[in-house]
Homo-oligomer: A and B are copies of this chain.
Amino acid sequence: MEKEITIYDIAKRLKLSPATVSRALNDHPAINSDTKTLITAMARQMGYRTNTFASNLRRQRTNTIGVIVPRLNSNFMSTVLAGMEKVANEASYNLIISQSLESVKKEIANAKTMFNSRVDGLLVSVAYDTDKFDHFEAFIKKGIPLLFFDRVIEHKQCTSIVIDNVKAGYDAATHLIEQGCRRIVHVTGNLKRNVYADRLTGYQQALRQHGLPFDESLVMITDLSQEAGTEAAKRMQAMPERPDGVFVTNDFCAVCCLITLKKLGVSVPDDIAVVGFNDDPVSQVVEPDLTTIHYPGAKMGEVAAQSLINHLNGLLDIQTTNKIILHSELVVRHSSLKSGK
């Protein structure tokens, strides 16, 4: 079987970058028309044909990428979007964004709107209650690439971009245990979502490894709102056997929990040590400042957008990549450092 000509072969022959060749074949506005003519002629001469994976190159482009997110009300999400905008801008793409407001019903409507807006690709972080892929099938059928980030659902034709949430949960709980905590409350969200289920798994692994029992009554499933943080503090203070640590999987929720604990006369970190999640700027505003997991939001946005754009330009096939995992890290501040230690 004759070897298939790739854009890399054309690039090599013309001493141009594969990206330039790809863009030229895709009629990208950033490439001038002489270069396009040259590249197209060489491609024809060498017998280049677009393969299935690159078939979307033939579709007419709108240079628009759709993004569907649960909500736009967190620093984390705005940081992810800033990362996407940065990469999209550089490649002359425009983002259009819609919110599912944590409802699968609205997510379905959003997907339809994005489809009708003829987006070139779609980046999705799913709603609280999404458990089917049906509303995304139209994109797959039409060859419009789809990529999940943060809150993902598994699909063999889609890449997912996440942090290692199990490790992050493990790191947070281990840190509390190392500070002497033995009864650690875990305040989290809907366990249907990978991010929360994985963090819980990490928390459980840390307990097990340190010979501590897992007490289900210490896990509080909430909507991770500010009110939920306040409520969690009240519940903890009222527990007959008071906890000595709390790991909240959202910073603003953790901050409200911390403030309420202080108002109730509980000393943070000495009575109860607090760890949050996301490294939201608010974690440095509260006193004592909040130990948290640094979540690389901007990086996640950049990687998501870049992977999608590379796919569109024929430089990377997202259907062969299953998952991309980014680094996260524990940032130790004062809300968790017990003075006796």
Q: Could you tell me the dominant secondary structure of chain A's interface residues?
A: helix
Contact with B along A110-125 (1 / 0, CB 8 A): 1011101110000000
Report if A75 contacts B (CB, 8 A): yes
Chain A positions within 8 Å of B, measured between CB atoms, are: 62, 64, 71-73, 75, 77-79, 81-82, 85, 89, 94-99, 101, 106, 109-110, 112-114, 116-118, 226, 252, 255-256, 259, 281-282, 285-287
Q: Which residues of B contact A256 (CB under 8 A)?
A: 285
Q: Distance in Å from the Cβ of A48 to the closest Cβ of chain B?
A: 30
Instruction: Tell me if A95 and B98 are in contact (CB < 8 A).
Output: yes
Asked if B226 and A252 make an inter-chain contact with CB atoms under 8 angstroms apart, the answer reads: no
The minimal Cβ–Cβ distance linking A340 to chain B, given in whole angstroms, is 25
Contact of A96 among B73, B77, B81, B117 (CB under 8 A): B117
| Residues on B with beta carbons closer than 8 Å to the beta carbon of A64 | 113, 116-117
With both beta carbons as reference points, the residue of chain B lying nearest to A114 in the complex is identified as B96
Please give, as numbers and ranges, the residues of chain B lying within 8 Å of A85 by CB-CB distance: 99, 101
For the complex, give the distance between the alpha carbons of A110 and B63 in Å.
11
CA A98 to CA B64, docked complex, whole Å: 11
B62–A116 CB distance below 8 A: yes
On chain B, the residues within 8 Å of A95 by CB distance are 98-99
Closest 10 CB pairs of A and B: A73-B78, A117-B117, A97-B97, A96-B96, A94-B113, A72-B78, A72-B72, A285-B285, A94-B109, A96-B98
